[in-house]
Amino acid sequence: MNNLTFMPVLWPLFTGILLIFFAKKIKLQRGISLFSSFIGIVISLYLVFTVRTQGILTLGVGSWDAPFGIVIVADMLSSLLVLTTNIIGFAILLYSFYSIGEERERHYYYPVFQFLLIGVNGAFLTGDLFNLFVFFEVMLMASYVLLVLGGTKIQLRESLKYIIVNVLSSSFFVIMVAYLYSVVGTLNMADISQRISEVNQPGIISVIAIGFLIVFGLKGAIFPLFQWLPGSYYAPPIPVMALFGALLTKVGIYSIFRTYTLMFYHDQDFTHTFLAILAILTIIIGVIGAIAYWDVKKIIIYNIIIAVGVILFGISVMNEQALSGSILYIIHDMLIKAALFLLVGIMIKISGSDDLRDMGGLIKQYPAVAWTFFIAAISLAGIPPFSGFAGKLLILQGAAEKGAYLGMAVVLISSLMVLYSVMKIFMTGFWGTPKADYALTNGKVNKMLVPAVLLVIISVLFGVGTESVYPYITQAVDSLMNPEIYNKAVLKE
Amino acid sequence: MELLMAIVIGILFMCATYLMLSKSILRIIIGTGLLSHGAHLLILTMGGLKGDSVPLLSDEAASYADPLPQALILTAIVISFGVTSFLLVLAYRTYQELGTDDMEEMRGTETNE
Q: Which residues of B touch A144 (CB under 8 A)?
A: 83, 86, 90
Nearest C-alpha neighbor of A114 from the set A129, A134, A96, A98: A96
Nearest C-alpha neighbor of A310 from the set A326, A323, A298: A326
Instruction: Tell whether the model's pLDDT for residue B35 goes beyond 80.
Output: yes
Query: Residue A304 and residue A120: Cα distance in Å, rounded?
Result: 18
Distance from CA of B43 to the nearest CA of A (A): 5
Query: Residue A273 and residue A403: Cα distance in Å, rounded?
Result: 13
Distance from CA of A176 to the nearest CA of B (A): 9
Query: Residue A28 and residue A207: Cα distance in Å, rounded?
Result: 51
Q: Which residue of B has its CA nearest to A154?
A: B113
Give me the residues of chain A with pLDDT under 50, please.
none
ipTM of the complex: 0.94
Inter-CA distances, A301 with A136, A227, A238, A328, Å: 21, 12, 12, 21
pLDDT of residue B111: 47
Q: Which residues of B touch A160 (CB under 8 A)?
A: 25, 87, 90-91, 94, 106
Return the residue in A156, A161, A348 with the most chain B beta carbons within 10 A, the one to mutate for interface testing: A156
In A243-253, which positions are buried (b, 16+ CB within 10 angstroms) versus exposed (e)? bbbbbbbbbbb
Distance from CA of A152 to the nearest CA of B (A): 8
pLDDT of residue A439: 66
pTM attached to this predicted model = 0.95
pLDDT digits (tens, 9 = 90+) for B92-106: 999 998 888 888 888
pLDDT of residue B54: 87
Distance from CA of B106 to the nearest CA of A (A): 6
> What angle, 0 to 180 degrees and rounded to 10, lies between the N-to-C axes of helices B67-98 and A153-184?
170
pLDDT of residue A443: 62
pLDDT of residue A397: 95
Output phi, psi for B54, to 5 deg.
Answer: -70, 155
pLDDT of residue B108: 67
Q: Which residues of B touch A170 (CB under 8 A)?
A: 79-80, 83
- Residues A177, B43 contacting (CB under 8 angstroms): yes
